[in-house]
Chain A
Amino acid sequence: MASTRQTKSKYYLRLLSLLLLVSIATVAVSILAMNITRDLKLLNSADSDNVQWSLTQAEVEFLEFDIELSIASNQLSPDLDALRRKYDIFYSRIKTLSQSQIYGELRRDAGFASNLEKSQAFLEAILPAIDGQETQLVASLPNIVAEANAVRPFVRSLANSGLMHFATESDRRRETLSTTLGQMAISATVLAIALIALAIYLGVLAQRNAKGIAKLNRANERMQIITSTSLDAVIVSDSTGKVLDYNTAAESIFGYTRDYAIGKELGELIVPQKFKDAHDQGMQRMREHGEKRVVGKGRVQLEGQHADGTIFPVELAIQSASTRDGEIFIAFLRDISEKVNADKELIEARDRALAGEKAKASFLATMSHEIRTPLNGLLGNLTLIKSTKLNAKQTKYIENMEASGSLLMNHISDVLDVLSYESGKLQIRLAPVDVSALLEEIVNSLSGAAMQQGTMLEWGWVSEPVGWINTDYRKLQHIVVNLIGNAIKFTQNGRVSVGVGLVQADSRAGELEITVRDSGIGIHPDQIETIFEDFVTGNSAYNREAGGTGLGLGIAQRFATVLEGHVSVESTPDVGSIFKVTVPVSVVKEPIEGLPSAPIAPAEKPLDILLVEDNEINRFVATEMLVKFGHTVTEAVNGKVGAELANAHRFDLILMDISMPVMDGREATRAIRAGGGASKDSSIVALTANVLVNEQEMFLADGMNDVITKPLTEEALNHVSNVWGVQRNAANHLLSEKHFTELREIIGPEQHAKLIERLSAEVADLIDDIQNVSSPELDEVAASVHKVAGSAATLGANGFATLLNSLETAAKAKELAEVEKLSGKLPLLWQRTLGAFRERT
């Protein structure tokens, strides 16, 4: 760019100097031409007259006078008039020579001037005689003759000196003219050369120009070809939106011809009616403030309008460029109807697949559950049969049936575990666990099976023994049982040794490694990759021998994963396998004695609890535990009895089994909530073996406050009694009646219903957002919780608002565990709050 400018200025400089040269030469030639004209004028006409003739004429006229004088001197009566006439003529001539400007130059010649003076003196001298009386003139004649003789040589010299002067003058003029003509010739030559140089230079420039234009044309042509062959529509507009260019692809995409489109307003042409206002505003913003929202921002997806009115999706990119005529915009547009359709189909296909997957999961869960219930019945009845009188054969059959039933029960549990992991609902419960006790218990329980295989089972520490660690007891137990069980299954008359070690990162945290080593048949290298996949079992040849669903290792791996650890394997066929589970743990102090697995503080205050449970043993155990914490327990054997007791007496907390004869837990709950009895606002917590989330949600919808899964543990019982017992007051004041009713009266039922709807939406969003929340997001959570709390308080949902306030406090304090705990209560409490709303509208 810079070099082009330099080259250009060089051209101009050269051109300018040539033009200057031509101008100078032209001026010189003009001046010289003027000089020549002047000189020629002087030569040709001018003021010359026939001067030489006049000069000689002076002598001639003097001689004529002289002759007339001689004639008069020799006659008695001379012709004096003739003499006087000749005098006058000579007089006139001399007067002319002395006055005329023609002879001005000549008169400066000293010789001429002297001669002229003498001639004049002569004329003056004889004048009185000439003009006098005739007699006087005649008498003076001899004197005049003498005077004439005396002056004659001077009159002659007068003529001659004049002639000399004019000859010299003539020569000088010729010389001047000749010099001028010479200068003229030189100047003309210079001019001619300069003009030729200029012509050549202009020729070169013209050629260069022509080359440049040709190059530009070729570039333009190429540009034209590129845009016209582009598959994308290319539309160029000025800053007012007027179309400047419009390529072939644009013709086919938008249906307007190029001739029609050029000069039209872009918005009128391709922007659908519904976007026209936005388009116009955008253009205006750009013109007024230079604000560009789309320009230069890459590809955006919009809608375009075809000439026939069809609206279709387009992908658009706009770039701007500054030109001499102002800013222009180049839009590249692509019809993406097909892509959008394809995307839509893909999304639909995915949704269908997901829905199918979900349906399948739901089906599996239902089936598993539905199988488990009759299986429980079978097993229960087998237990009953065993207490009747049986012969040895029958006893053997029943034992076989029990074994089969237990196995079937385990398989179903496995399937449910997989399902809950896949749905992301596999929760972990961290609690202090005595590792040695855990291993001891497992090894003891499996030693029977090992013995049957003729295999020796042993365990021991490979590091310094560790006391208590914080982990999920059930899951770790499941993993280890599975690994040892597998090892025993595939090892006959061999040895299974379990090594436990803690690889400590620091004094408080480390990784627990449990290694299960067997001398069994091993795993073929081809299979080692897939053994953790679902429904993969060992070599088919051993299938019958070993049995299994193929879910065991998959579940072990999943559990290890939720504990943030993993299971690995090494194996040599016919030598044995080594399975190793590694999970991060923290080392904790031994819990206070008497509450071995309950880290939560014991009951803060004694509660009045109603326990509704049909199973006598379960009822017995639960009552024992609750009484131990200092609570008062009233027992009911089924839902009907429970509901009647609840209506009659106000309990702080009701623990409700789900599956019961006469009236199940759900129905009983609904009856308590709807019945208007003494305990209608009391907390109700479900006791269930059901782990399916869907079902748990249904319980909450029935009006229950929480769910705990069987088997009952002290920990779980203590937890619910603390949370729901303490929150009894809040539960009592689930709704501020006064507040709720007043607001409803003030704004009217319609607006009130809308407010409730809006709060429902907010709560639903909050519950979604708060799931799987991570530490960095806690501030955000606190903010959104605060907002919803405000809305809830406005509607008089005091209970819910109180919970949200606690949640907000926890979030602000970055107590992630507390946030998770409290947020888990949101759905149920909201269900109840909504129920309370409905009751009062």
Chain B
Amino acid sequence: MMTKFTLFCFLAFSLPAAILADVASNTKSEIILTVTGEIAAPGAEGRKMAYDLSDLAELGSTTIKTTTIWTEGLQTFEGVELATLLKTLGVTEGVIKAIALNDYAVEIPVADAVSGGPILAYKRNGQFMSVRDKGPLWVIFPYDSSAQFRTEVTYSQSIWQLAKIEITH
């Protein structure tokens, strides 16, 4: 049920966000994610990996339809699975440390990065996400699919404005 207030908020913020999306698509080559640490993929050992939106989109596109505790109504997220990303980097064990633009950091065990698990979402409801709209990357779990994704730990791991990943053993 949408209250008058939330309706107001939605109208207030949706217009500038759309403008920003266009900005983001124009600066597609901009690096939005860097990955460092225990990378085991041949030829990339120990290097710092940098990804722009098209790089990530090339890795794969997985869609999750779910509600979240931070949004109103059913949302459609599109992104690359964390598992896919880690697989390209040859990471099979350890912990990844995800760091946001506001320096918020959270650890996600590699073991949790499974198929059907978290994705690095770059589109919400068909639109790329601006920073004001928790973009450009947002770690999303399929919350509606299982109660195991509706825990405080999972919510804390649902990091938005993701910028960096450090992989440790």
CB pair B152–A88 under 8 Å, yes or no, is no
Cross-chain contact of B71 among A44, A100, A127 (Cβ < 8 A)? A100
- Nearest CB on B from A662, distance (A): 150
Closest Cβ neighbor of B100 among chain A residues: A89
Tell yes or no: A91 within 8 A of B by CB.
Answer: yes
- The stretch of A45-53, A630-638, A810-818 in contact with B is A45-53
Cross-chain contact of B132 among A92, A102, A107 (Cβ < 8 A)? A92
CB pair B71–A45 under 8 Å, yes or no, is no
A107 to B151, CA, bound (A): 23
Tell yes or no: B51 within 8 A of A by CB.
Answer: no
A104 to B102, CA, bound (A): 24
| A:586-630 near B, CB below 8 Å | none
Residues on B with beta carbons closer than 8 Å to the beta carbon of A101: 69-70, 72
Residues on B with beta carbons closer than 8 Å to the beta carbon of A98: 5-6, 9
- Please, what's the 1-or-0 string for A17-44, where 1 marks a CB less than 8 Å from any CB in chain B? 0000000000000000000000000001
CB pair A96–B155 under 8 Å, yes or no, is no
CB pair A85–B131 under 8 Å, yes or no, is yes
Tell yes or no: A823 within 8 A of B by CB.
Answer: no
Q: Find the residue from B13, B19, B130 having the highest chain A CB count within 10 A.
A: B13
A113 to B10, CA, bound (A): 16
- Nearest CB on B from A105, distance (A): 12
CB pair A89–B152 under 8 Å, yes or no, is no
Residues on A with beta carbons closer than 8 Å to the beta carbon of B101: 85, 88-89
Closest Cβ neighbor of B8 among chain A residues: A98
Closest Cβ neighbor of A100 among chain B residues: B70
Residues on B with beta carbons closer than 8 Å to the beta carbon of A48: 152, 155
Cross-chain contact of A127 among B16, B131, B150, B156 (Cβ < 8 A)? B16
Q: A85-B131, A96-B134 are in contact. Are A102 and B6 (CB under 8 A)?
A: no
Q: A96-B70, A99-B72 are in contact. Are A120 and B131 (CB under 8 A)?
A: no
A49 to B155, CA, bound (A): 5
CB pair B131–A49 under 8 Å, yes or no, is no
- Count B-side interface residues using an 8 Å CB cutoff: 28
CB pair B161–A92 under 8 Å, yes or no, is yes
Residues on A with beta carbons closer than 8 Å to the beta carbon of B19: 131
- Count A-side interface residues using an 8 Å CB cutoff: 29
A95 to B6, CA, bound (A): 10
Tell yes or no: A335 within 8 A of B by CB.
Answer: no
- Please, what's the 1-or-0 string for B70-101, where 1 marks a CB less than 8 Å from any CB in chain A? 11100000000000000000000000000001
- Please, what's the 1-or-0 string for A703-737, where 1 marks a CB less than 8 Å from any CB in chain B? 00000000000000000000000000000000000
CB pair B71–A99 under 8 Å, yes or no, is yes
Closest Cβ neighbor of B1 among chain A residues: A104
Tell yes or no: A61 within 8 A of B by CB.
Answer: yes
A96 to B6, CA, bound (A): 11
Cross-chain contact of A47 among B71, B134, B150 (Cβ < 8 A)? B150
- Nearest CB on B from A724, distance (A): 135
Tell yes or no: A57 within 8 A of B by CB.
Answer: yes
Q: A47-B150, A99-B6 are in contact. Are A92 and B12 (CB under 8 A)?
A: no
Residues on B with beta carbons closer than 8 Å to the beta carbon of A46: 150
| B:120-169 near A, CB below 8 Å | 130-134, 150-152, 155-156, 160-161
Residues on A with beta carbons closer than 8 Å to the beta carbon of B151: 44-45
- Please, what's the 1-or-0 string for A85-128, where 1 marks a CB less than 8 Å from any CB in chain B? 10011011001101111101001000001000000100010010
A832 to B67, CA, bound (A): 135
- Nearest CB on A from B125, distance (A): 14
| A:412-445 near B, CB below 8 Å | none
Q: A96-B70, A99-B6 are in contact. Are A49 and B160 (CB under 8 A)?
A: no
CB pair B152–A49 under 8 Å, yes or no, is yes
- Nearest CB on B from A270, distance (A): 79
Residues on A with beta carbons closer than 8 Å to the beta carbon of B13: 95, 99
Closest Cβ neighbor of B101 among chain A residues: A89
| A:729-786 near B, CB below 8 Å | none
A107 to B72, CA, bound (A): 14
- Nearest CB on A from B23, distance (A): 9
CB pair B69–A100 under 8 Å, yes or no, is yes
Residues on A with beta carbons closer than 8 Å to the beta carbon of B152: 44-45, 48-50
Q: Is the interface of B mostly helix, strand, loop or mixed?
A: loop
Q: Is the interface of A mostly helix, strand, loop or mixed?
A: helix
- Nearest CB on B from A47, distance (A): 5
Residues on B with beta carbons closer than 8 Å to the beta carbon of A102: 69-70
CB pair A61–B102 under 8 Å, yes or no, is yes
Closest Cβ neighbor of A117 among chain B residues: B5
- Nearest CB on B from A263, distance (A): 66
- Nearest CB on B from A108, distance (A): 9
Residues on B with beta carbons closer than 8 Å to the beta carbon of A99: 6, 9-10, 13, 70-72
Closest Cβ neighbor of B129 among chain A residues: A92
Residues on B with beta carbons closer than 8 Å to the beta carbon of A64: 102
A124 to B10, CA, bound (A): 13
CB pair B160–A92 under 8 Å, yes or no, is yes
CB pair A113–B69 under 8 Å, yes or no, is no
Q: A45-B150, A50-B155 are in contact. Are A95 and B9 (CB under 8 A)?
A: yes
Q: A48-B155, A49-B152 are in contact. Are A91 and B9 (CB under 8 A)?
A: no
- Please, what's the 1-or-0 string for B6-38, where 1 marks a CB less than 8 Å from any CB in chain A? 100110110010010000000000000000000
Residues on A with beta carbons closer than 8 Å to the beta carbon of B16: 127, 131
Residues on A with beta carbons closer than 8 Å to the beta carbon of B102: 57, 61, 64, 89
Residues on A with beta carbons closer than 8 Å to the beta carbon of B133: 92, 95
A98 to B12, CA, bound (A): 11
CB pair B150–A88 under 8 Å, yes or no, is no
CB pair B130–A88 under 8 Å, yes or no, is yes
- Nearest CB on A from B37, distance (A): 24
A45 to B156, CA, bound (A): 11
| B:29-68 near A, CB below 8 Å | none
Closest Cβ neighbor of A86 among chain B residues: B102
A61 to B70, CA, bound (A): 18
Cross-chain contact of B69 among A49, A85, A89, A91 (Cβ < 8 A)? A49
Q: Find the residue from B70, B134, B156, B160 having the highest chain A CB count within 10 A.
A: B70
- Nearest CB on A from B137, distance (A): 13
A48 to B70, CA, bound (A): 10
A104 to B6, CA, bound (A): 9
| A:41-78 near B, CB below 8 Å | 44-50, 57, 61, 64
CB pair B134–A92 under 8 Å, yes or no, is yes
Residues on B with beta carbons closer than 8 Å to the beta carbon of A85: 101, 131
A288 to B74, CA, bound (A): 80
Residues on A with beta carbons closer than 8 Å to the beta carbon of B5: 98, 107, 113
CB pair A47–B69 under 8 Å, yes or no, is yes
CB pair B71–A120 under 8 Å, yes or no, is no
Q: A47-B150, A107-B5 are in contact. Are A88 and B132 (CB under 8 A)?
A: yes
A769 to B131, CA, bound (A): 140
A131 to B15, CA, bound (A): 13
Residues on A with beta carbons closer than 8 Å to the beta carbon of B70: 49, 96, 99-102
Residues on A with beta carbons closer than 8 Å to the beta carbon of B161: 89, 92
Residues on B with beta carbons closer than 8 Å to the beta carbon of A61: 102
Q: A45-B151, A45-B152, A49-B155 are in contact. Are A124 and B12 (CB under 8 A)?
A: yes
A124 to B6, CA, bound (A): 16
A626 to B7, CA, bound (A): 162
Residues on A with beta carbons closer than 8 Å to the beta carbon of B69: 47, 49, 100-102
Q: A49-B152, A57-B102, A95-B13 are in contact. Are A89 and B131 (CB under 8 A)?
A: yes
Residues on A with beta carbons closer than 8 Å to the beta carbon of B160: 92
Q: Which 7 A-B pairs have the closest CB atoms?
A: A88-B131, A45-B151, A49-B155, A100-B70, A98-B9, A91-B132, A47-B69
- Residue contacts A-B, CB under 8 angstroms, 9 given: A47-B69, A85-B101, A92-B161, A95-B9, A95-B132, A99-B72, A101-B69, A120-B12, A131-B19
A residues with CB within 8 A of B: 44-50, 57, 61, 64, 85, 88-89, 91-92, 95-96, 98-102, 104, 107, 113, 120, 124, 127, 131
Please give 12 more A-B residue pairs, beta carbons under 8 A apart, in addition to A100-B69, A131-B19. A44-B151, A45-B152, A49-B155, A50-B156, A89-B101, A89-B161, A91-B132, A92-B132, A92-B160, A95-B13, A98-B6, A101-B72
